[in-house]
Amino acid sequence: MADRLQILIAQRDPTTGDLRGNLGEARAALAAAGAQGADLAVLPEMFLSGYQLQDLVRKPAFGRACAEALAEIAAETRPGGPGLLIGGPLHEGGRVHNALFLCADGAVQAVSRKHERPNYGVFDEKRTLDPGPLPEPITFRGVRLGLLICEDAWEEPAARALAAAGAEILIVANGSPYERGKHEGARMADMRARVAETGLPLLYVNMVGGQDDQVFDGGSFVLDAEGGRAVQAPFFESRDLLTIWTREGEGWRCAPGPVAPTPSDHEADYQAICLGLGDYMRKSGFRQAVLGLSGGIDSAIVAAVAADVLGPENVWCVMLPSRFTSRTSLEDAAEVARLIGAKLDSLSIASAVEATGQELAPFFAGTESGLTEENVQPRLRALYLMALSNKFGHLLLTTGNKSEVSVGYSTLYGDMAGGYNPLIDLYKTRVFEICRWRNANHRPWMKGAAGPVIPERVISKPPTAELRENQKDSDSLPEYPVLDAILERLIEGDQSVAEVVEAGFERETVRKVERLIYIAEYKRFQAAPGPKITHKALWLDRRYPIVNRFRDPS
């Protein structure tokens, strides 16, 4: 019977479908475990294949490639050397499982199949994966380990079954995406509940990195049998962390180690946005970004994020003025570019707007000028920006915040055009707060300049699209604090119109906002992806029909 076990938490960042790259990361974790004297290295859920896989997981050719990669890494474990616990898909008998494989002594020694399949929010595993049986403990170096795969630890049955069957330590392999407040809220509460129910200590290994619209925040940790936090890995970065376990009486205890602080909500949001953008670009093969810099707050913070992720030398800001662009906007865009150290060019759309108007004049004869003519401007800006992106291989970043995207205050094939939107899950009021946080804070991982990067005038001036004379956003929408409060109730809270009115908002305003949300669904269906920050992001968390005549009668 062993009395000591050393386990390396390998909190690392896989790339979906990159089996060779992920094998390289697994080899590095195995080597780190050997160098630090660990008995076992533990990687996150579905690490071998990347996560989430969606329908790729059911492709037979992909399943065969994953099996070959698993056999390769298993063969590299050596007798007397560290074992490796790695997640990946398992194709067997026409079924596909989310599995966890124990590799040791040159072979796969044990397999645990995920029992619970999440089917809410961004998860769709009941559609793509088959359930495994309730898990049983596996024995490794004389210790009975209870293996749980993400959702298995968020529900009771699997952990209870493992404890009843004699497990001594619970190990949870996770691909748990970031949501604001989730770590110290639901994540810690549920893991402490499993500890309380079983009386067993728990080691939780979480993935880190961005995948499409999801960001995995890391923050792996160990809870002792009383629910206390023995160690915690940093957030939003790859990190190996050695944990040392000893048998004390009838149970096991992890020696206290580093406990990285949990970042504030504003810092965590900013890190999630940056990691999401950085991984989206790196994993897609982009190294440089281009964006339209308008002199407004949204494009300013996107430029700052891009500079922090890529370095300012890899960020190309383009001002695309029309005859409605104010001198203030020109000055503010120039100051933002100067502060972040990015290249700024000016490319006027004025002559193109005039030429387009002349060409359309015969068709528009007898009609009043209005929104159609205004929307020609952002669409021409998109034409120019996409041309620059296409010609020079830069990823075009869009800059619409969640408030605008929610109510359709954006132009399809205009300012919505691009490859990635860092702000898509941040309401406008949150954008203001994030700007002030970034101005006051700089971290070692940031490649952008220290100090304020968003001029105060950009933060404090009234928002405007500048598509007509003296235009302000508030001409078309409620003031953003009011709009965002209503949106949070209608979207995040799923409240009725009556409930929002009872909270103190004018019925006419609430009905207008509800209508705008519904009729903008077709725009969101075509929007660029961006990082999920809240529990109700506008893509996979909130799925509504495009054609929808329902309006709340309350």
Candidate list 114, 402, 428, 532, residue with the active-site label: 114
Can you tell me the distance from the alpha carbon of 134 to that of 113, in angstroms, rounded to the nearest whole number? 8
Which of 446, 188, 180 lies closest to 307, judged by CA? 446
Candidate list 66, 103, 150, 274, residue with the active-site label: 150
Q: Other CB atoms closer than 10 Å to residue 31's CB: what's the count? A: 14
What ranges in 477-524 are assigned the alpha helix state H? 480-487, 497-502, 507-519, 521-524
Q: 418 CB contacts (<8 Å, ≥6 apart)?
A: 291, 382, 385, 386, 389, 395, 396, 397, 398, 528
R_g (Cα) of the chain, nearest Å: 26
Q: What pairing do the DSSP bridges indicate for beta strands 143-149 and 169-174?
A: parallel
Give the DSSP per-residue string, 356-384: HHHHHHHHHTTS---HHHHHHHHHHHHHH
Candidate list 25, 45, 335, 374, residue with the active-site label: 45
Can you tell me the distance from the alpha carbon of 252 to that of 39, in angstroms, rounded to the nearest whole number? 15
Can you tell me the distance from the alpha carbon of 481 to that of 460, in angstroms, rounded to the nearest whole number? 14
Residue identified by tokens 């504030």 is: 264
Apex CA 63: angle with CA 62 and CA 64, to 5°? 90
Q: Cβ(6)–Cβ(38) under 8 Å?
A: yes
Q: Is-catalytic flag, 532?
A: no
**DSSP-based three-state secondary structure for 58:** helix
**DSSP-based three-state secondary structure for 172:** strand
Q: 447 CB contacts (<8 Å, ≥6 apart)?
A: 307, 308, 309, 310, 311, 312
Q: Is-catalytic flag, 45?
A: yes
Can you tell me the distance from the alpha carbon of 212 to that of 52, in angstroms, rounded to the nearest whole number? 9
Q: Is-catalytic flag, 150?
A: yes
Three-state SS for 270-335 is: HHHHHHHHHHHHHHHCCCCEEEECCCCHHHHHHHHHHHHHHCHHHEEEEECCCCCCCHHHHHHHHH
Which of 17, 140, 12, 23 lies closest to 72, judged by CA? 23
The catalytic site residues sit at 45, 114, 150
